[in-house]
Every structure is written in structure tokens, then in C-alpha cells.
Amino acid sequence: MRILVLQHIACEPPGAFEDVLVERGADLHRVELDEGEPLPGLDGFDAVVAMGGPMSVNDEAEHPWLVGEKALIREAVERDVPFWGSCLGVQLLASALGGRVHAGPAPEVGVLPVQLTAAAATDPVFAGLPETMPTLQWHGDTFELPEGAVLLATSPAYANQAFRVGRSAYGVQFHVEVTPELSHEWSVIPEYVAYADRVLGPGGIASLLADFEARNEEMQGHARGMFERWLDLVPQH
């Protein structure tokens, strides 16, 4: 299995998702778009994984590579190449398919619950998850569902938290893939610390880290379950 991994900053790799890929013997081709690495074509890849990042999908003037990335994601959906997007990745999926991405009413940051929809109960990836589950939220933008999307999860602050398009294109706004190692890395990045303190108040990053550590094992269990079931949708050669 050959997987194209789209990264937008070094500190936001696939985390627990990557652990699953390695266990399955997948061949990962990682592209660091923010570092100017070129996008390959889709030929030869069995699936695409797009991760998070601090930029907005609308920052095309500052990050012109976003234009090509969205075109590649749209092509993947059209060709039924399985796609998984997390945080920025779900917003890229929505934008690539015509959904508007815009600032939400207020940033959603912290370990917060999402509620699964009725459609999630029969979805091949989300079925079996609890109706309410903890997630790490770290975003200020939200998105409108593109045409034909099936809403799979929601939250009180942001109605659109996860969706599916077609058979195997999935996006989740939240983080469940973050490992303890990654969380500690985030906790010492000045820009991330400042953002948490601005949203949550002084010492916000410390309280967030404590909440994360208390629920991390549960979140990673959900991450692995979802991602393994999504990988089962990837055609085997």
C-alpha cells in the first residue's frame, strides 16, 4: 500500500495514524508543502492523507501551493482514491469540493466532546464509536458541507465536525491522532503556547495538556479504530 501524506508543518504529522500505517507495512511518501516540496501526481498512490497546519485554506496568496493541493484532493475524490483529512485536511477537502471555509464564531480549543450523527451509526468508518467521544480541538475556522457530503459528527460550538463524500473520502475537524510526544512538542512551540493562552487564558497550555493526558489513551483508541477501518476501504493490489 503506497500512501501520499500531505503535511503543512513538521510538528503535525499523522501521529497515531502513522503508527497504524507502519504496522500495516505501508510505504509513505511524505510531502512537506510548507517547505516547498513539490506535489506528485496521484498515479501510483493507493490513498491520500492530509494533516493539519496553522494556515487557513484561504491563504492562497501567502501559500500558493494550496491551489495545487486542493486540485489534487478534488482529483482524488473524482477518481475514488481514498482520502483522509484531519483539521486543516478536512477544511481542504471541503474547499476543494466547493464548500466555503470561514472563521468560526470563536476558536474551539481544548479537549472537548463531539457528538456522532445518526448517519455515523451505519458508516463503515464511524460505526462502533461511542455517540459522544472526547477530541482535541485546535481551530478557529469552520466549513460548509460540500454537495453530497454526509455529516458524521458535530459539536455545540461547531456544527460540522466530520463528513464523508462518496465511498472513501473522509475528513475530521478534530484531532485524535496526537500522541503524548506530539502534545509535549506543541506545548513548547511559542506560537502554539501563545494561541492557547489567548483562547484559554494564562496557563492555558498547561491545563490543556493535563486534560489531554487524562483522555489521550481513549482518544488514540478511537483514532486507531477509525483509521484502521478507513484503511480497510483502500483497494489492495
**Which residue in the list 18, 87, 139, 222 is annotated as catalytic?**
87
Based on its alpha-carbon atoms, the radius of gyration of the chain, rounded to whole angstroms, reads 16
End-to-end CA separation in angstroms for the chain: 8
Q: Per the residue annotation, which of 8, 12, 177, 222 is the catalytic one?
A: 177
177 is a catalytic site residue: yes
Grid-cell match 478536512, residue found: 90
The three three-digit cell numbers of residue 106, written as one number: 470563536
Q: Is residue 87 annotated as a catalytic residue, yes or no?
A: yes
The three cell numbers of residue 11 are 510538528
Q: Which of 8, 12, 139, 175 is catalytic?
A: 175
Burial 180-191 (b: 16+ CB within 10 A, else e): eebbeebeeeee
CA distance 140 to 28: 29
Q: Are 34 and 64 in contact (CB under 8 A)?
A: no
Residue type (1 letter), 194: A
Q: Which residues are catalytic?
A: 87, 175, 177
